[in-house]
Structure 1
Amino acid sequence: MGFRRKKVVPFRTAGELDAMAAAGAIVGAALVAVRAAAKPGVSTLELDRIAEQTIRDAGAVPSFLGYHGFTGSICSSVNDRVVHGIPSAADVLAEGDLVSIDCGAILDGWHGDSAWTFGVGEISAADSDLSEATRLSMEAGIAAMLPGSRLTDISHAIELGTRAAERAHGRSYGIVDGYGGHGIGREMHMDPFLANEGAPGKGPQLVVGSVLAIEPMLTLGTTETEVLDDDWTVVTIDGSRAAHWEHTVAVTEDGPRILTVRPE
């Protein structure tokens, strides 16, 4: 007599999670190095080279470089660019810019994927709030990464995190439509897709060892985006600023484990 296995979010052994955390730590180090270098007058191409060097010096390979023809080791998305910005010598940072850096690395076949948003010099209160709201939304999603949760429980938690930040900050945020997190392991993007909003209680179940990349993207305006002629860069349709935070996270018996930890 056959039986249907309950659908679960793909899971890894404890040893495999350690291997993913080793890849993730390299991503964290690359992000920290990029942020330290992100000053007015520095190009996003220079930041890209710093990230690539950090990754290669650690014995890993940049996962973004060459991915479907992408030319960078980071995505550098400034101001109204939401995600997938291409590093360029012509893209020079200025005081007050809001910068989102997304980075991935492969070590021993395992992927780490993480992103964060930060300001160049002094930034506006609105931009600071936006980045903080996105981080808080991510953390709400991470906290929901528990055995027995369903996939959309994470989506719902992220959305509730955004709404809580709106109340705390006294402003509204757009949850970018159509983009979200994903499964990750021996490939960078795996099923399932993780929406950043929605009703709870649906989709595959999380079990010990399940891994997801959790990545909310918020704006100070619209939920709608368009892709530029370079076929990569995603921008807000109203020109409002956007933020993007991401960690690779595993479900464990002892609570959520961030696999892309950044050095202090």
Structure 2
Amino acid sequence: MSNTAWQHVLLARHPKRPTSRVLIETLFDDFIELHGDRAFSDDKSIIGGLATLNGVTVTIIAEEKGTSTQDKIAHNFGMPHPEGYRKALRLMKQAEKFKRPIVTIIDTPGAYPGLGAEERGQAQAIAFNLQEMMGLKVPVLVIVLSEGGSGGALAIGVGDHVMMFEHAIYSILSPEGFASILFKDAKQAEHAASLMKLTATDLYNFKIIDEIIPEGPGLHESKEGLFNLKSALSRNLTQLLTEKIGIITQKRYQKYRQMGVFLEGANVEHTQD
């Protein structure tokens, strides 16, 4: 029997579910972390740097929630500030300069909504990342690890191949936020989740993601998902490295253009129904 949308939400938020740092340590070799946006500060909710995958040097950019209470606070529960997104973009442009493929790992309830973040240009930082990622002249692989919330996820989510774990969620905002807006009651989050089409299967059918990574009972119980991800990463990186970069960027542009047309058509059909 398949899980309900709310069960996927609970699995995605399981306290023992691996964070991005665990994925990096498990799947990649020789990780060297780089810091700072060269303008304001080093946002620990986004970690990034260099590593190797099957001998190929890549740039990794990941949203990190932390594990212990103190660690979660240090990483702001995986909610980036604008300087985090600017750090991410700095590393993306560095990867482009040195012709390194990019791997991003999405795991955030959303961008941090605080006053300071807004004053420092949160929306602009997200929008600029979207614009720049569309034209990056290196392959970009995207992994949705647990939660992918709104622009906080999209800011590192434009890629040539988007993979999503079976029990992850990816949506315009949290079910609690959706319920607060639609029903004026955050306690109706479970019902909201059933309406939001936030599961991997939903998003694959909508062509938002390209591949679902099976994880068995959940990443907190089994390493099956990590092995499956390593295989998918290796396969897709190898394939992308055989293509000319001009073709890759053209396919990326067309992919997101077609995605918009598809979603617009689906929305019209839903409205008519």
Query: Could you state the TM-score of these two structures normalised by the residue count of structure 1?
Result: 0.25
- More helix by percentage: 2
Query: Could you state the TM-score of these two structures normalised by the residue count of structure 2?
Result: 0.25
Q: Which has the higher contact order (CA 8 A, sep 6+)?
A: 1
- More strand by percentage: 1
